[in-house]
Amino acid sequence: MKKYHKLSITILFGLCFTVLPLNATFFPYLMYEKELPNYMRIVVVPIQDARTVSFATLVQTGSRNETDEGYTGYAHLLEHMMFRGSENYSTEDRVNLLYRHGGDSNAFTSMDYTCYTVSCDPAGWEEVLALEADRLIRLSLNKEDFKAETGAVIGEFGISERYPSNRMENALRECMFQGHTYEHSVIGYRKDVMNMPEGYEYIRDFYKKEYRPDKTIMFIAGKIDRPGDVLSKAGDLFSGWTYEPAPLPVIRPSLKPVTCLDTLYDASIPAPRVKIAWKIPGYTQDRLGHIAARILAEHYFSDNSPLMIKLRDEKKWISSGSYSVPLTIDPYWISLDLVLTEEGVGAAVGDYVLGILQDSRYTLKAGELESLKKRQIYKTHMQLSSPSSILGVLTNYAHIKGDPQEINHYFLALERLEILDVRQCKENYLTRRNQSELWMFAR
């Protein structure tokens, strides 16, 4: 893998920015990055054959940052409020401006971060940039809008808790991550969500505390002929966003092994299911260990792996299965979600899975590791298909350490990953004392 170098270039009007030529074997575009005096970063990615310009504003605040008891779900609530107008643009102004430029606007909140996205015609980039800057710096947060959005979130919560998969995930995370803010869902605990209408003053304080320039990266990609002009305009618009240093809550991660075993009942489910999970390192604590865990999950739990073929086609214990390994700051999980057949209801599925993990016949081989590395690279390359999807990939990696280059660091570490690293990860984390199971039946 080739090394990359930073190259500082001074252009007209005294604007100085950094060109970051990412690894040519992975990310195919240049990044033009500027850090403002308030520590906010602007990153421009020109894509000359693009037909649109996309924005992705990454704020390093998610449900992980909700450390005050009784106030879970406020990162998600604040995401809702960010569409309710700002000092210079009402909600109607925003809709009309985006409509005029063929714009599309959305957002999501995760455990670790919140991301705001906009796509528009290239001719509208300057107006959209001003629109986004205004809501980041001067959000309205009036009481009437707050009342409306708390009602919307309460309704959203009511819908989300009807899904059996959400109930299972929430119950298991509450057990596995006790004492850490990953124990609650992004939308929050029921009691806290129902009390949100009383939280107007809190949301104002939360906005001021968490939405800071030093926690924000704005990515802009697409049909951009003069990236220096975009950086200069962004610097002007965000120059009024004052950096006010303040201590952030200390969040202490824990990799202590945990075993949670429980059963839930839901008459609405069409088939019984089981969720099996193992706590693994967060990316910030152990980059290589986290990447190794992702490789192990692909090896053991992908649709055509020996384990899944045995469970589905030979034993006929499951009708389907899937796995997830979120890219998280702190320790989280590999989770394996299985939909059971009648034959699988009374089977010792968890023991069988553990037996395959411990069976040397299915241990990952060096040649298989290289194939899995190439598959990860290929799958990520396939996501780089449009300005908006490119920014979706970049923000997913950048949120971990606040570094736009993290995508490059990740794949450099992936290339350096050795078979001994993967086997050590398996020995440390895919064990009985670190395996949790949650079952759900109709009755």
pLDDT band at 25; cut points 50, 70, 90 = low
Domains 7-237 and 261-441 share a fold: yes
For residue 210, give Cα distances in angstroms to 60, 206, 320, 371.
8, 6, 40, 41
- In whole angstroms, what is the distance from residue 274 CA to residue 280 CA? 19
* Helix/strand/coil for 51: coil
Q: Report pLDDT digits (tens) over 299-315.
A: 999 999 999 999 999 99
Quick one: what percent of the chain has pLDDT higher than 90? 91
Structure tokens at 111: 């455990």
> What would the pLDDT profile of 124-137 be if each residue is shown by its tens digit?
999 999 999 999 99
DSSP assignment of 54-87: EEEEEES-SGGG--STT-TTHHHHHHHHTTS-BS
Delimit the domains of the chain by residue range: 7-237, 261-441
125-137 helix and 227-237 helix, angle to the nearest 10 degrees: 30
Whole-number Å distance between alpha carbons of 87 and 90: 7
Percent of the chain with pLDDT strictly greater than 70 = 94
| Distance in angstroms (rounded) separating the CA atoms of residues 123 and 137 | 24
pLDDT for res 18: 65
Q: Does residue 3 register a pLDDT over 50?
A: no
pLDDT digits 0-9 by tens, 84-141 = 999 999 999 999 999 999 999 999 999 999 999 999 999 999 999 999 999 999 999 9
| pLDDT higher than 50, residue 144 | yes
List Cα–Cα distances, 180 to 177, 265, 298, in angstroms.
6, 26, 27
- pLDDT, tens digit (0-9, with 9 covering 90-100), for 378-428: 999 999 999 999 999 999 999 999 999 999 999 999 999 999 999 999 999
Q: How far is CA 91 from the centre of its chain?
A: 27
Residue keyed to tokens 């299915």: 362
Query: What's the CATH fold of domain 7-237?
Result: Cytochrome Bc1 Complex; Chain A, domain 1 (3.30.830)
* Residue indicated by tokens 């980059």: 287
* Token pair listed for 402: 């606040």
Residue 208 pLDDT greater than 50, yes or no:
yes
Phi, psi of 49 (to 5 degrees): -90, 5
Distance CA(131)–CA(125), nearest Å, equals: 10
Under the banding of pLDDT at 50, 70 and 90, the label for residue 146 is very high
- Residue 17 is predicted with a pLDDT of 63
- The Cα–Cα gap between 6 and 232 comes to 20
List pLDDT tens digits, range 264-291.
999 999 999 999 999 999 999 999 999 9
Question: Does residue 7 carry a pLDDT above 70?
Answer: no
What is the chain's Cα-based Rg? 23
Tokens at 395, concatenated:
């923000």
**Cα separation of 286 and 382, whole Å?**
27
Quickly count: other Cβ atoms within 10 Å of residue 441's Cβ: 16
Confidence label for 248 from pLDDT (cuts 50, 70 and 90): confident
Dist CA 135 CA 95 (whole Å): 13
Q: For residues 311 and 369, is the Cβ–Cβ distance under 8 A?
A: no
Residue with structure tokens 């700002």?
Answer: 86
Model confidence band, residue 247 (pLDDT cutoffs 50, 70, 90): confident
- Please answer whether residues 120 and 128 qualify as being in contact, where contact means their C-beta atoms are separated by less than 8 angstroms: yes
Say yes or no to pLDDT of 10 above 50.
Answer: no
Positive or negative torsion for Cα 348, 353, 356, 362: positive
384-417 as b/e: b if 16+ CB within 10 A? bebbbebbbbbbbbbbbebebbbbbbbbbbbeeb
Q: What are the tens digits of pLDDT across the range 321-349?
A: 999 999 999 999 999 999 999 999 999 99
In CATH, the number for domain 261-441 is: 3.30.830.10
DSSP-assigned letters across all residues of 318-372: EEEEEEE----SS-EEEEEEEEE-HHHHTS-HHHHHHHHHH-GGGSPPHHHHHHH
